[in-house]
Amino acid sequence: MPELRAHNITVSVDGYAAGPRQCLEHPLGEGFGDMHDWMFAALRDRADGKGGIDVEYVERSEENIGSTIMGRNMFGPQRGPWEDESWTGWWGPNPPFHHDVFVRTHHLRPSVVMEGGTAFHFTDESPERVLARAFEAAAGQDVRVGGGAATVQQYLRAGLIDELHLAIVPTLLGRGERLFDNLGDGIDGYRVAELVGSPSATHARLVRR
């Protein structure tokens, strides 16, 4: 049965998944710029034919994914009504998704079809309805929640995420968006199924009980 998965969600030791004041110059928030160095290094190692724990988790994140859900903050730096619809994401003309991507936002705009098969669809529907559309688009494959923190929180609160992979990096941020805040009873339905470390990050895999 297809699942909803979240992978490579990078957090600091004190639980922050994004820094404050996200903008064009600081897309992940101030102080968060090097938090994904573990993943970029893993991608380089994979390209060079090397393996390792970090490479393994990056490769897992790409297996059997047929569509993606993300929040407005992950798609771009703009907030509020779209003043400029020429923005089509951080990833250039050929984004790495190559499937349907559902962007959750209060401000709708027409879908954007990119090179390589990526199509961004903008929706203000409920998390459950967006997930249903994503499962339909995935055609039997799994759906990935790409981020940001608020979007992952919404699906955790609803108990809809089947698997959550965290990469905990050895940094203290002290401010920003904490991933596990405001979950209520949502986190009670999960357990830690796997915990393994590399020199760059500690990987935790949470699954539904």
CA distance 87 to 98: 18
pLDDT above 70 covers a percentage of the chain that reads 100
Backbone torsions φ then ψ of 152, nearest 5 degrees: -60, -40
Structural domain including 199 reads 4-76+96-208
Evaluate if residue 18 carries a pLDDT over 90.
no
Report the pLDDT value the prediction gives residue 147, as an integer from 0 to 100.
84
Is 128 inside a domain boundary? yes
How far apart, in Å, are the Cα atoms of 166 and each of 51, 111, 149?
19, 30, 12
In one-letter notation, the amino acid at residue 48 is: D
Q: Per-residue pLDDT tens for 99-154?
A: 999 999 999 999 999 999 999 999 999 999 999 999 999 999 999 999 889 999 99
**The CATH number of the domain where 189 resides is what?**
3.40.430.10
Q: Are 164 and 156 contacting, i.e. CB atoms less than 8 angstroms apart?
A: yes
Q: Is residue 81 part of a domain?
A: no
In tens, the pLDDT along 49-73 reads 999 999 999 999 999 999 999 999 8
Local confidence band at 78 (pLDDT 50, 70, 90 cut-offs): confident
- The per-residue pLDDT of the chain, averaged, comes to 93
pTM recorded for the entire structure: 0.93
Calpha distance 193→164 (Å, rounded): 10
Helix, strand, coil abundance in the chain, percent, nearest 5:
25, 30, 45
6-27 mean pLDDT: 86
Domain membership flag for residue 82: no
Is 8 among the domain residues? yes
Q: Which two tokens stand for residue 72?
A: 């407005």
Q: How many CB atoms lie within 10 A of CB 115?
A: 10
Q: Is residue 85 part of a domain?
A: no
> How far is 55 from 165, CA to CA, in rounded Å?
14
Q: For tokens 């954007």, what's the residue? A: 112
Outline where the chain has alpha helix (H). 37-47, 53-61, 72-75, 127-138, 149-157
* Residue 35 maps to a domain: yes
Q: Considering the domain boundaries, does residue 70 fall inside one?
A: yes
Greater model confidence, 154 or 209? 154
Position 32 confidence tier, pLDDT thresholds 50, 70, 90: confident
Here the contacts of 191-197 (C-beta below 8 Å, separation 24 or greater) are 196/53, 197/53
Segment 177-192 mean pLDDT: 88
On whether residue 89 sits in a domain, the answer given is no
Count CB atoms within 10 A of the CB of residue 36. Answer: 17
Q: Is the pLDDT of residue 19 over 90?
A: no
The band of 92, judged by pLDDT with boundaries at 50, 70 and 90, is very high
How high is the pLDDT of residue 29? 72
Total of domains in the chain: 1
